[in-house]
Structure 1
Amino acid sequence: MATKVLDKITVAASPPASGGVLPLTFFDVPWLFTGPIERVFFYTYPHPVEQFTAHLLPSLVSSLSAALHSFYPLLGCVRPCPDGGGGYEFYSTGGDGGGVELTVAESSDDFEELSGGSPRDVARLYELVPQLPRTEDGSFALASAQVTVFAGQGLAVGVSIHHVACDDSSYMHFVKTWAGQCRVAAGEDAAEVPPPLLDRDVVADPEGLAARTLDEMRQLAAKGPPPPPPPGPPPKLVIASFVLTRDCIDKLKQRVVAKGAASANGGGRVHCSAFTVACAFAWACLARVDGSYTCKKRAHLLFSVECRRRLAPPIPQEYLGNCLRPCFVEVDMGDLLGADGVVTAAAAIGASIKGLDGGVLDGADGWFHKILSLVPEHPMSVGGSPRYGVYDADFGLGRPNKVELVSIDKTPGTVSLAEGRDTQAGIEIGVVLPEAEMAQFSSCFSDGLKQL
């Protein structure tokens, strides 16, 4: 085993937090029985383990403790409501015995390879990601962290936060708060990160969507477990990153606007952003790789749109929790696989986003069933976004060499999006596939860039 655990530390909030109980909103409930958002942040750290333990580790621990003071819900768990009504709630003891488990580890693996973008076994990255502790009473912890040192090479910071606790915006708000506090603990200057907003009353639920969605989830569970996976050993999955430079993104936008405007919204202007064309490009590549796609008449895409600023009244960006709605896109498979597949996909994605102008919560009572109905269709789904600034997480070691959203491997057909590390890098697209299919995806991606 390449990774050896050196210590496990329970980190409490300092000064102690108040703790308490918070309700789940209708944005949180659909994530209740999923899993954590799991990222690994890689940094250059050319020092021995002893120097890490003596100098950097104390700053990492004290800064995590300071960050947890304002993000105290992450100290706790999600548990069944004590009233026996079948609901769930966030519960945190605050400074009274609550804490987040921080694993300290050492790895003998190849840091340069792990922190690169080439295909590598996703299981190797999972050695750098902490597991969330579970209990026998039906509750589960919301957050854990792991710091892994590669002697003389680098450092990996793995953060797991259960999706029911927050979305990617809140996830990165927490990580940047921890990183900023770490720079302060080391005596550096750091821009102050605003505290999170914990008031869940800002998410109105006049239609009782939270309770209704939970009832639907129970009804589904009552029908029995999902079908077992196919017999035989599962395929070896590899993870890799692909980059769309700013120049490539601009060329894709120009193509979409030039060829797609006439077909979007009856000839209206097409919504065309970096996110739109990156999703479209990845979707077109993935459709050519997945053999199950070729026998289907329609192709499906599922992605999330953040609602904080789209709600009326808008919710502050610092709100700690989930505030995402799903968007559904469907196109003809022949069009997606055709020469202008990226244009077709981008126009459809843009139309879906533009349609939110009529009301971001329209159809909310049908979102859960719509997602379930798409599972047999093997849709491509999207995790992360270029707008969350994952490469801004500086623990005093500079910008990360690489950031991986490892948890995309939990749902086949999911790709991750993030801003590029460098100013001209544009957008990074992360993909997890079996080895043979990854080679096909890489070839499709390369060929698509050559045609720009």
Structure 2
Amino acid sequence: MALTPLQQRGHCTKYQRISFHGQGSSSPRRAHAVRVPRHAGATAGGEREGEAPLLDAPWVATPPVQQVFLNETVTGDEFAVVVKRLKESLAAALALYLPLAGNLDYVEENRQRHRLVVDCSQPGVAFFETVAGSMEVACLLPQHDARVLPAPVMAVQATRLSAGMALGVSVHHAAGDGRSVVLFLEAWSSIACGGSWSSPVAVTKSLAPSHYAREAITVSHPGSDELAGDVLSKIAPKLPLANTYTTECYFSQHTRLARQTMVLGAADIRALKRRIDGLAPPPPPPAKPVSTFVAPSALCWTAFVQAKGLGAGDDTHLLFQVDLCARLRPPVGARYVGNCVRGCIASADDGELLGAAGLLRAARAVQAAVAEAVVAPLAGVGKWVQRLMGLPVARQLVVAGSPLFRMHHLADFGFGMPEGHRDGVPFEELQEQGFEEVEQQQ
């Protein structure tokens, strides 16, 4: 991987940066730096673009958020033209989403306390190109090792396949949540479809700019800066080493688990909601409607308890995130780039989640956890990490993503919507399934 000047600063000499190399790729990756145009006005008068506040700190040790889009319409002869379009539109989009073009870094305040920052002094993103002879040997995600800071916020890879192409996008979670990634993909695909490559300024002017000012969070929680330092010291106590996973676990932690994709369509969700509502006795005031998030979460939770053969007497815990963009005072706004989610933990005795009424009890527990977070959005945020670390891992079920994240519909870069889309594709699973089966899991 070609290192940008920021990566070459090398102020972390104690640890050696380890790069991940794809398995069985039929041609080596070529890395190109996609630079942000000068008109972006990147960081006037300073090296640091901004601090990563309280809601960003918990994500510094997690692997990047990764998406892969598979498109069958791009033929081998068109690959070079498509890659050129992707690079040019990516540069223009990054001008609107500058933190994604930076490097996640930290500032040492004292020996016990650090602050996360996003360094945008030389904004750019590594863009990898490779060719795979078949899906059995393809590694579709870019090299993006963020275990040691400073680390690039984003990386992209275009892979030419025997039956199309794959576009892999990787974003460090400490720089933005799923909603931020959705906003960026929407802007990138809109610019790519605009066709005005000679004047990226004209294209970007028609798009609503993002913002990444953290004032709303610091105003809502006056002690957030100090608390962010405390959270960071618990999550990553050995900075610049942010993550102690081995290379194999860091990039392939999901491959050791059996995985099956189950699609719930709109009719399935409606039926599930009716089933949950039918289990409840009519209360005097109308109960809060079961949302599209709550219904499948409750179903997964009860299935989790049954599959493990758990019984009454011990608790299990459902972990998920709640969006706070519109719930902070003042609100951060819909175009905010960064993490604006807080962790929630819904807990219940295993026995309560068994039987016919278990689905209803699970739904009510999830609703109660959401309601608690909405009333006081930032209350107990710092203690959430400590509480999570004290829960037994075997009794945790994590729900990630949102039904509002329609990634598949946002990824039309001018050559049609992708035939397939996966979150964080496990490499071994792709080797077993092949392209055709992945396509069917839209």
Q: TM-score range by the shorter chain?
A: 0.7 to 0.9
After superposition, give the CA deviation of every residue in 1:212-268 in whole Å (9 maximum; x if it has no partner): 2432442576699999999xx9974354321112112111111211213558xx976
Instruction: Give the AA of the match of 1:14.
Output: P
Judged with a 3 Å threshold, the aligned counterparts in structure 2 of structure 1 residues 261 and 269 are, in CA distance, closer, same or farther, namely: farther
**Structure 2 residue 366 is the aligned partner of structure 1 residue 355:** no
Task: After TM superposition, list the pairs within 5 Å mapping 1:416-427 onto structure 2.
Answer: none
Q: Could you tell me how far apart the structure 1 residues matched to 2:357 and 2:176 are?
A: 37
Task: After TM superposition, list the pairs within 5 Å mapping 1:261-300 onto structure 2.
Answer: 269-290=287-308, 293=310, 297-300=314-317
After superposition, give the CA deviation of every residue in 1:420-442 in whole Å (9 maximum; x if it has no partner): x99xx9xx8xxxxxxxxxxxxxx
Q: Cα distance, 1:32 vs. partner?
A: 1.7
CA contact (8 A) 2:231 2:382 kept: no
**Structure 2 residue 216 is the aligned partner of structure 1 residue 199:** no
Q: Cα distance, 1:319 vs. partner?
A: 0.4
Instruction: Give the AA of the match of 1:39.
Output: Q
Partner of 1:146: 157
After superposition, give the CA deviation of every residue in 1:34-53 in whole Å (9 maximum; x if it has no partner): 221111112222512x3211
| Identity percentage of aligned residues | 25
Instruction: Give the AA of the match of 1:331.
Output: A
Judged with a 3 Å threshold, the aligned counterparts in structure 2 of structure 1 residues 15 and 294 are, in CA distance, closer, same or farther, namely: farther
Classify the secondary structure of the residue corresponding to 1:241.
Answer: coil
Instruction: Give the AA of the match of 2:130.
Output: A
Q: Cα distance, 1:63 vs. partner?
A: 0.5
RMSD: 3.5
After superposition, give the CA deviation of every residue in 1:82-132 in whole Å (9 maximum; x if it has no partner): 6656322111124xxx3100111222234xxx9xxxxxxxxx78x211122
Taking structure 1 as the reference length, the TM-score comes to 0.75
Partner of 1:160: 170
Judged with a 3 Å threshold, the aligned counterparts in structure 2 of structure 1 residues 201 and 99 are, in CA distance, closer, same or farther, namely: same
Partner of 1:215: 230
**Structure 2 residue 102 is the aligned partner of structure 1 residue 76:** yes
Judged with a 3 Å threshold, the aligned counterparts in structure 2 of structure 1 residues 7 and 262 are, in CA distance, closer, same or farther, namely: same
**Structure 2 residue 63 is the aligned partner of structure 1 residue 39:** no
Partner of 2:79: 52
Judged with a 3 Å threshold, the aligned counterparts in structure 2 of structure 1 residues 175 and 220 are, in CA distance, closer, same or farther, namely: closer
Q: Could you tell me how far apart the structure 2 residues matched to 1:36 and 1:287 are?
A: 29
CA contact (8 A) 2:26 2:133 kept: yes
Q: Cα distance, 1:3 vs. partner?
A: 5.0
Taking structure 2 as the reference length, the TM-score comes to 0.77
What count of residue pairs does the alignment treat as equivalent? 386
Q: Could you tell me how far apart the structure 1 residues matched to 2:121 and 2:195 are?
A: 25
Q: Cα distance, 1:290 vs. partner?
A: 3.8
Q: Could you tell me how far apart the structure 2 residues matched to 1:100 and 1:259 are?
A: 51
Q: Could you tell me how far apart the structure 2 residues matched to 1:64 and 1:227 are?
A: 31
Partner of 1:413: none
Partner of 2:335: 318
Classify the secondary structure of the residue corresponding to 2:160.
Answer: strand
Judged with a 3 Å threshold, the aligned counterparts in structure 2 of structure 1 residues 253 and 67 are, in CA distance, closer, same or farther, namely: same
After superposition, give the CA deviation of every residue in 1:341-387 in whole Å (9 maximum; x if it has no partner): 32221121122223334222232232221221225353111111111
After superposition, give the CA deviation of every residue in 1:274-299 in whole Å (9 maximum; x if it has no partner): 111111122222333346x5697222
Pick aligned residue for 1:130 from 142, 148, 153: 142
Q: Could you tell me how far apart the structure 2 residues matched to 1:142 and 1:163 are?
A: 8
Classify the secondary structure of the residue corresponding to 2:382.
Answer: helix
Partner of 1:432: none
CA contact (8 A) 2:103 2:119 kept: yes
Partner of 2:262: 242
Q: Cα distance, 1:134 vs. partner?
A: 5.4
**Structure 2 residue 186 is the aligned partner of structure 1 residue 176:** yes
Partner of 1:398: 416
Partner of 2:41: 18
Judged with a 3 Å threshold, the aligned counterparts in structure 2 of structure 1 residues 134 and 254 are, in CA distance, closer, same or farther, namely: closer
Structure 1: state its 5+ residue gaps. 115-123, 410-420, 429-452
Q: Cα distance, 1:61 vs. partner?
A: 0.8
Judged with a 3 Å threshold, the aligned counterparts in structure 2 of structure 1 residues 219 and 200 are, in CA distance, closer, same or farther, namely: closer
Instruction: Give the AA of the match of 1:289.
Output: A
Judged with a 3 Å threshold, the aligned counterparts in structure 2 of structure 1 residues 332 and 135 are, in CA distance, closer, same or farther, namely: closer
Classify the secondary structure of the residue corresponding to 2:71.
Answer: strand
Structure (1 or 2) with the greater strand fraction = 1
Classify the secondary structure of the residue corresponding to 1:240.
Answer: coil
Partner of 1:106: 131
Q: Could you tell me how far apart the structure 2 residues matched to 1:61 and 1:82 are?
A: 35
Q: Could you tell me how far apart the structure 1 residues matched to 2:375 and 2:254 are?
A: 44
Q: Cα distance, 1:135 vs. partner?
A: 9.2
Structure 2: state its 5+ residue gaps. 1-23, 198-202, 428-438
Q: Could you tell me how far apart the structure 1 residues matched to 2:235 and 2:166 are?
A: 39
